[in-house]
């Protein structure tokens, strides 16, 4: 009996160039893989890796900036918090459709076209909002949707390129962890930058800055040689495409619930801060979660299995992530809450890393960028849903606890049996 393993990024080929050569990667059981996993610095010292990561993160920084800037801009124009939050929700949900479409375009035509097209759309929409404001709500809503839907496929593109710029599977796995860790920077630095710019100048200036960083990061990413020459492997025409494998659909649904745990956290932090009469907890709670995520990513890169990650790793991480939320249901003081939130935070990046590897392993050949687009869209849909549900439900920790539990149940009940079947 042999088990199908969770493999890394599907094979891509450069274009133009010679026909693909046999993979230089050692097989999973090769003794050469049983060594200390590469560290982040081992990935970044390879040519192009630093530029690709920095430009990708820069281009994605607007994802953390725009929701806060939209809320502040709408409030400055006299709208209620509910209306302002609705504009931010439009922006947050739109990438769930836009990222898979631009990812598919990247798999069909290369990365340059969708990166340039998406960056231009985002910059135009945000510049329009910065110039006209949010007084005309229908126009503001359209601009918010276009800015979200046009988000360039930088995450999917980066993950498709790791295979072409790194020497083996072990480096690719570490690169996935590095990218997942860097996403924490987007959602910590982005809001802080938007607030600082809004306070110093205006919310319109924050929107303009978000447009500028998207344009600069996307153009720098698309101009890198690996991005210019990359082409996906030939793909077969299929009705469902990336969504054809049943395990893929289940996994993406589980990622919606994973995103909901984080989306609910900002609202929960505010509600818990009020109940505990500790205003500092509202900002400290998501910050501690993100800081623990960065630390968890570093530790996972250092101590991850030296062999190919398997489906059981995804199940175990999902179950542990859900279990780590349970202590937060107890009536405990604010300092204890701040410490306990670091437990699920530390597991978030490892879980996201293994989920990303699983998504790309399940994707049919030639669909790696679109697959990561579906993954990113699912998580962002969960982020918006978690934020929307946490308020009406009182901002209790029960919301992220239930979302994490549903995520774990889906991973255990469906993903493992389908992703890792046995063969005789």
230, 297, 411, 364: CA torsion to nearest 10 = 10
Tokens of residue 111, six digits: 């990365």
For the chain, how long is the longest CA-to-CA vector? 67
Within a 13 Å sphere around the CA of 106, how many CA atoms are in the beta-carbon half?
Answer: 37
In 269-423, DSSP assigns E strands to 422-423
How much is the pLDDT for 258? Answer: 93
Q: H or E segment at 123?
A: helix 112-132
Per-position pLDDT tens, the chain of length 424: 444 344 444 444 444 444 444 333 344 444 444 467 777 888 888 888 889 999 999 999 888 888 888 888 888 888 887 788 788 888 888 888 888 899 889 888 888 999 999 999 999 999 999 999 888 889 999 999 999 999 999 988 898 888 888 888 888 888 888 888 888 788 778 888 888 888 888 999 999 999 999 999 999 999 999 888 888 766 666 666 677 778 888 889 999 999 989 888 877 877 787 787 877 777 788 888 888 888 888 888 777 766 555 677 788 888 999 999 999 988 888 888 889 999 999 999 889 888 888 888 887 777 878 888 888 889 888 888 887 777 677 667 888 899 999 999 988 876 444 444 333 3
Q: What is the pLDDT of residue 291?
A: 86
pLDDT of residue 419: 41
Sign of CA dihedral 225, 228, 234, 239: positive
DSSP symbols for 39-67: PHHHHHTSTTHHHHHHHHHHHHTHHHHHH
Task: Determine contact, residues 8/150, Cβ cutoff 8 Å.
Answer: no
Distance from C-alpha of 3 to C-alpha of 308, rounded to nearest angstrom: 12
Helices (H), ranges, 281-310:
281-303
CB under 8 Å to 240, separation ≥6 — which residues? none
State the SS3 of 74-116.
HHHCCCCHHHHHHHHHHHHHCHHHHHHHHHHHHHHHCCHHHHH
């Amino acid at each position: 009996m042999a088990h199908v393993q969770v493999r890394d990024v599907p094979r891509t080929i450069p274009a133009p160039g010679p026909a693909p050569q046999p993979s230089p990667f050692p097989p999973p059981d090769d003794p050469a893989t049983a060594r200390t996993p590469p560290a982040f610095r081992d990935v970044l010292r390879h040519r192009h890796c630093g530029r690709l990561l920095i430009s990708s993160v820069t281009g994605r920084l607007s994802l953390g900036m725009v929701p806060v800037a939209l809320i502040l801009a709408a409030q400055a124009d006299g709208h209620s918090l509910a209306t302002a939050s609705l504009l931010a929700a439009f922006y947050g949900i739109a990438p769930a459709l836009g990222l898979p479409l631009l990812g598919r375009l990247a798999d069909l035509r290369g990365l340059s076209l969708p990166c340039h097209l998406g960056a231009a759309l985002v910059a135009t929409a945000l510049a329009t909002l910065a110039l006209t404001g949010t007084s005309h709500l229908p126009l503001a809503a359209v601009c918010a949707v276009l800015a979200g839907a046009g988000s360039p496929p930088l995450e999917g593109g980066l993950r498709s390129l790791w295979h072409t710029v790194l020497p083996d599977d072990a480096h690719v796995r570490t690169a996935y962890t590095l990218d997942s860790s860097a996403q924490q920077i987007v959602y910590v630095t982005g809001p802080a930058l938007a607030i600082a710019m809004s306070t110093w100048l205006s919310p319109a200036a924050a929107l303009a800055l978000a447009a500028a960083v998207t344009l600069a990061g996307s153009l720098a990413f698309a101009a890198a040689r690996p991005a210019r020459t990359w082409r996906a492997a030939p793909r077969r025409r299929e009705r469902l495409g990336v969504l054809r494998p049943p395990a893929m659909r289940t996994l993406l649904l589980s990622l919606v619930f994973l995103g909901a745990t984080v989306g609910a956290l900002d609202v929960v932090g505010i509600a818990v801060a009020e109940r505990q009469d500790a205003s500092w907890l509202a900002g400290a709670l998501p910050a501690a979660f993100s800081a623990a995520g960065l630390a968890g990513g570093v530790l996972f890169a250092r101590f991850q299995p030296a062999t190919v990650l398997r489906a059981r790793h995804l199940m175990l991480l999902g179950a542990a992530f859900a279990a780590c939320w349970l202590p937060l249901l107890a009536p405990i003081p604010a300092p204890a809450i701040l410490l306990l939130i670091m437990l699920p935070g530390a597991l978030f990046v490892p879980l996201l890393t293994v989920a990303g590897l699983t998504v790309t392993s399940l994707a049919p050949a030639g669909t790696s960028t679109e697959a990561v687009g579906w993954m990113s869209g699912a998580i962002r849909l969960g982020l918006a849903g978690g934020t929307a549900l946490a308020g009406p439900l009182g901002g209790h920790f029960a919301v992220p606890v239930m979302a994490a539990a549903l995520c774990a149940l889906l991973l255990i009940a469906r993903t493992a049996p389908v992703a890792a079947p046995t063969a005789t």
